[in-house]
Chain A
Amino acid sequence: MPRLSHAAVPALGATALAVASFVALLAIHLGGGGAVDLPWAPTLDLRLSFAVDGLGALYGMLATGIGAVVFAYAAGYLPSHLAHQGRPAREAWRFHGAMVLFMAAMVGLVTARDLLLIFLFWDLTAVASYLLIAFDRHERESRVAALMALLVTGITAIALLIAALVLHARYGSFQLPEVLSALQPGPATTLAGALVAVAGLAKCAQAPLHFWLPRAMTAPTPVSAYLHSAAMVAAGVFLLGRFHPLLQASGPLLDVLLGIGLLSIAVGGVLALTRDNFKQLLAYSTISQYGYVVAMLGLGSARAALAASFYVIAHAIAKCALFLTAGAVTQAGGGKRLSDSGGMARAAPALAVGSGLAAAGLTGLPLTIGFFADELFFAAALQRGPGMALAAVGAAALTLAYIARFWGAIFLGPRPAGAGRASPALTVPVVVLGGLVAVGGVWVQPFAELAREAGTATFGAPDAFKPAYHLDLRAENLMALGTYALGGLIVATRVLWAPVAAGVARLGDAIGPQRIYEVSLRGLNSLSDAVHDFEVRDLRARVRPILVLAAVLVALGILATPSTATFTVGTIGTTDLPLALALAVVIGAALACTVPREHLTLVLVLSTLGFSLAVSYAFFGAPDVALVAVLVETTITLLFFGIFSLVPERVLRREARARESRRRQRINAGIGVGAGAFAFLVVWAALSTPTPEQVVAAEHVRLTPQAHGQDVVTVILADFRGLDTLVEITVVFVAVVGIATLLRRGRLA
């Protein structure tokens, strides 16, 4: 059954793997944790060290547990998603492969102990999310979204790497526990803390780096559900939790975190109220709700750390259920937008109940795990003061309003035409998660314990607060009541604030960070195009900068090394006269080479030059060189003549007659003079240097008889430096091979 194998095998395999990992993590955690520590790259001081502590257990179990549910859901979701787009079922392998990679990266991230290992897994989550967001890569929107997510999270990840290296430079270790226990306030620590915060905040989509998250909604629904509840975004707050001691030691960083968290709550919440698309609404709600967690981490108390950990659990379960609901409704024909959805409660009662529980959980209603999450949140806010408590109530009310709107618009009201029943395969996971939300509302103990250990690992000290129902008028309860009232009020007064919220959204579109991202990306590309127009494409301009810069470097070199009396003129004795004359001819011929326009004349002048050089070599006392120079010169002259006979007259004549503009000639002449001056200075400076005392050539002369030779030059070539000669012959051989190849193919047909 090929269809079954492509659709089901990867999904079942992934689910089984997730369940097994969850069980393993749970067992390790209950067994008191475990650690692995192996050398990895001693040169870089890296170790493969992993350990399961409370924080790691919490996020690891979320990633695997939620993962199992999402993978099972995908088994039912993906085949019809692929079939709908006319894609082969085997692409399920790619999907689940990337999902498993994502999960593995999360587990690795939360258990890693080595700073660079953390960075490695951190980037792996970015890679996996990149592949998953772009799963529907034939659609432009998906590609744009994937690139945006990669750029935002990938580039900010560099901050984490730098932070790791700064910490290593400061504390001499990549082992996180060692570093955290040695922390001292100071510039390096603050810098590292800020860098970690940047990486973490970008990953958990906090304002102003939140914009990639709503765009990432182009991914298939299971991806969004996983990304938003237990994987990608959770990794961001995990990182802030993992490095919390560093943030505490980094001056006012916690307050910045608090501010960003509150800002994100507001921005995400208000925008969530204005969204019509299911997944867009949920995306902004994620931004807002991770804003809670970031704000709590920013509060920087043991209770807040506990509250943050608990909130992450409650949020992950409930938010995942809502995402899965959105996918189930859309696949059942219930639309993608709130405005054209409704009445699904009758068509899909089980789904309605499951997601109703989840929604209640997110809004913090009693008998759900969310109630305790809010209770802790309020308790932590109260510790800080009344202002913070008010803000907390406002935040929770905002959440209540948009979640109520989401659930109500889908499940209540009239049913649109064409809506069918939700598939059971998609309903069961939602019901399971909804049930979990309810279980947590009754039996909070295990969740609270897990959160407590995670909070302790985060803050460094435990908090005794026990979430429970209290039927009295304590502050937390009053705040909860206030939240319900205020939330209800927001829902009821929609007409009043809707235009304002829409205005905020429009303003954000016009000048918000996403706009900045788009403008800068487009600007960079245009800048690149503009620079490219300057990129020169003819040989002249390719050579010119080399010569000019060489001359400039030499000038700089002279300026940089002030030395006295380096340059000497030297004397011309009577014995030198023939050589001097020959060189004068060389100079003349070289200058003459620049003049002729006819090619034939040019080559004649060139050969004059060559022969006069040969003559000067002879006067150097180098008969061998002179002889070879004559040979070479003759051959080159013949070669040029040969080419001239092969190239038609008219081509050469056209080239000879081509006139260059005066300006260009002047520039070329200037560069020629500059280049000449450069070579002149280099050689003059070298030749002016007094002869060193030990000269290897003297050894050559002395040893020549031992090599059974007469002519020292020949012996050097054949014996002392025979290797050079061998290579030289090879060079000639390669040239012959190259020329043969060229001319054979170049024959005019």
Chain B
Amino acid sequence: MLVAGLGIAWVGAVMLAPLDATRRHWKLVALGVLALHLLALAVLMGLVLTRGPLETVVGGWPTGVGIRLRADALGTLFAVVSSTVLLLGLAHETAQGTATRTTPALILFMAAGLTGLFLTADIFSFYVFFELSMIAAYALTATGGSTRELGAAFVFAVVNLLGSFLFLIGIGALYHVTGTLDMATVAERITAVEPNSAILAAACLFVAFAVKLGLFPFHFWLPSVYTASRPAVAAVLAGALSNIGAYGLLRFGAGVLPAQLELAGVALAVLGTASIIYGALQALSRRSTSEVLAYSAIGQVGYIIVALAVGGTVGLYAAVLYAVINALNKALLFLSAGLRGWLVGAAFAVGAFSVAGVPPAAGFLGKVGLFQSGIAEGNALLVALIVLGGALSFVYMFQIYQHDHWRPSEEPPRPPHGRWQRAPALLAAAAILLLGLWPEPLLGASEAAAGALRSPS
């Protein structure tokens, strides 16, 4: 099952890459492959949640010698969510007819890369998969063709490459101090390492992931890329790719380097707070939906960081839950950003309510988790911060919602969208409502994921 989860998208991508995916049947094949991939991951997650983590060492070598793949609740949850977003994004591209020849293959490659990095327990293979999904993302952002998109793609690539190489330096440092690449062994041996060396390697990793996440003040690349890209690409970047950052911080921070994470708690809290306030403040009076969403994304990741800084079972649970819900929110909002019509308006409103934390949209679960971690800590400042961020998100989400969907438009009405063009956005909205009304699976998985971090292997 583990290999199936990893292999389906990979093989599919390689097969599809040379084919002309602007043809209808190849598009459908790509969708089918991705759906199959998602199904495999969902089954895998089911297995992991009921029977505990699955693991295998590739090639049958002893742990450490070969690469250990390990599917635990955290990894499979992120893999399922990212793949869901990718599937929605690909469906949107297909329905809109904006896909280029290679878009489906690139999205499948990204799915393979993401799944790989969520399922590996080896720090170097994490890097390799990470680069696979990143290079697919670079190619994806650059295929748009307009000067603005290309310029944004260049900036995106440069900044993220810088992050990647920092990550690689961190990996080198970790290898040197622990003599292994296996996450569990690194986590074991790092406790005996000079704190100075360990914290510096951790700082490298943190900067790399913060860049991916678009945390303030590492975010400066993000707004221009999200606004210049097509809605589906922006959805994929915000809903799937940025999960690398959240997952990486959780896995490396809480899973591998917990002592360093604790040490960095204050710095994390400061950066997270700055991100929440800065993102929300910027988002307030932006005139285009994609810009509001881009800055909102910066603000929202701040919550994840703050929850991570709180730490403990409650904090990690809140961070996982919030990351998952945020990914879905962003996918929904970006996918419905370019469309009009009352159904899409309703879908966007669901997303807006979700961001603001209004039930029954799933976003309120994330807010509940955050508040619980703040209250458990007895941290009034944190609670006040979440309230402030939530209040600002009300203002910016609904200003832009009313601006886009309620104002009588002066432009002549656009040609009506086909039935299928709205389907991905509506599906995402339905999923968010469903998760809000029947939250147990998501909550259970998040709790298991947080538990997986607390007791690595």
Which residues of A are at the interface with B, using a C-beta cutoff of 8 A?
A: 40-44, 46, 94, 116, 119-120, 123-124, 126-127, 134, 137-138, 143, 146-147, 150-151, 154-155, 157-158, 161-162, 165-166, 169, 521, 524-529, 531-532, 535-537, 539, 541-543, 545-547, 549-550, 553-554, 556-558, 560-561, 563, 566, 679, 681-683, 685-689, 691-697, 699-700, 703, 719-724, 727-728, 730-731, 733-735, 737-738, 740-742, 745
Contact = CB atoms under 8 A, between A and B. Distances in A.
A154 B356 contact: yes
A525 B284 CA distance: 6
Contact of A727 (B132, B169, B195, B202): B132
Nearest 5 CB-CB pairings of A with B: A738-B139, A686-B173, A528-B284, A692-B179, A542-B220
A230 B249 CA distance: 49
Interface in B142-191: 142-143, 145, 154-155, 158-159, 162-163, 166, 169-170, 172-174, 176-182, 189
B376 A169 contact: yes
B221 interface: yes
Contact of B61 (A161, A561, A697, A720): A720
Nearest to A146: B402
B26 interface: no
Interface stretch (B40-48, B236-244, B326-334, B391-399): B391-399
A696 B185 CA distance: 10
Interface in B335-367: 342, 353, 356-360, 364-365, 367
B406 A682 contact: no
Given A120-B359, A154-B394, A683 B17 contact: no
A734 B128 CA distance: 13
Q: Among A549, A723, A734, find the residue whose CB has the most chain B CB atoms closer than 10 A.
A: A734
A527 B278 CA distance: 11
Interface residues of B, number: 117
A536 B220 contact: yes
21 contacts: A116-B368, A123-B364, A158-B367, A158-B391, A162-B383, A535-B282, A543-B158, A543-B162, A557-B199, A557-B200, A561-B263, A682-B201, A682-B203, A686-B173, A687-B176, A691-B179, A694-B180, A721-B66, A724-B128, A730-B14, A734-B135
Contact of B211 (A546, A553, A686): A546
A40 B128 contact: no
A683 B169 contact: yes
A123 B407 CA distance: 24
A722 B69 CA distance: 13
Contacts of A138: 406, 408
B267 interface: yes
Contact of B64 (A44, A542, A699): A699
A79 B406 CA distance: 21
A728 B128 contact: yes
Nearest to B222: A542
A691 B342 CA distance: 64
A682 B165 CA distance: 13
A interface, by DSSP: helix, strand, loop or mixed? helix
A745 B263 CA distance: 49
B125 A721 contact: yes
A147 B14 CA distance: 50
Contacts of B367: 158, 161
Nearest to B163: A546
Contacts of B220: 535-536, 541-542, 545
B168 to A, nearest CB: 11
B398 A147 contact: yes
A550 B207 contact: yes
Contact of A696 (B180, B197, B372): B180
A169 B372 CA distance: 8
A686 B177 contact: yes
Contacts of B278: 531
A123 to B, nearest CB: 5
A692 B177 contact: yes
Contact of A741 (B102, B124, B281): B102
Contact of B357 (A46, A158, A537): A158
A681 B358 contact: no
A134 B383 CA distance: 31
B29 interface: no
A684 to B, nearest CB: 9
Given A154-B358, A158-B357, A682 B402 contact: no
A563 B218 CA distance: 29
B411 interface: no
B159 A143 contact: no
Contacts of A686: 172-174, 176-177, 197, 200-201
B95 interface: no
A719 B195 CA distance: 34
A498 to B, nearest CB: 38
A694 B359 contact: no
A162 B217 contact: no
B443 interface: yes
B390 A689 contact: no
A703 B64 CA distance: 12
Nearest to B177: A689
B131 interface: yes
A152 B394 CA distance: 10
A549 B368 contact: no
Contacts of B139: 734-735, 737-738, 741-742
Interface in B282-297: 282-286
Nearest to A520: B395
Q: Among B173, B195, B359, find the residue whose CB has the most chain A CB atoms closer than 10 A.
A: B359
B65 interface: yes
A161 B368 contact: yes
Q: Among A127, A138, A169, A685, find the residue whose CB has the most chain B CB atoms closer than 10 A.
A: A685
Contact of B406 (A137, A161, A733, A745): A137
Nearest to B139: A738
Interface in B54-90: 58-59, 61-62, 64-67
B313 interface: no
B390 A155 contact: yes
A526 to B, nearest CB: 8
Contacts of A745: 100, 143, 145
A546 B162 contact: yes
Interface stretch (B31-39, B104-112, B418-426): B104-112
B118 interface: no
A721 B67 contact: yes
Contact of A151 (B67, B158, B199, B394): B394
Nearest to B100: A741
B444 interface: yes
Nearest to B207: A550
Contacts of B407: 143
Nearest to B278: A531
B200 A685 contact: yes
Contacts of A165: 368, 371-372, 375
B203 A542 contact: no
B194 interface: yes
Given A154-B394, A542-B220, A692-B179, A134 B406 contact: yes
Q: Among A46, A155, A169, find the residue whose CB has the most chain B CB atoms closer than 10 A.
A: A155
B197 A529 contact: no
Contacts of B197: 566, 685-686, 688-689
Contacts of B395: 151, 521, 524
B439 interface: yes
A566 B402 CA distance: 59
A723 B58 contact: yes
Contacts of A692: 177-180, 189
A722 B128 CA distance: 12
A681 B284 contact: no
Contacts of B357: 158, 161
A561 B220 CA distance: 30
Interface string B414-457: 00000000000000000000000001100110010000000000
A162 B180 CA distance: 45
Contact of A682 (B14, B59, B169, B394): B169
Contacts of A532: 282, 285-286
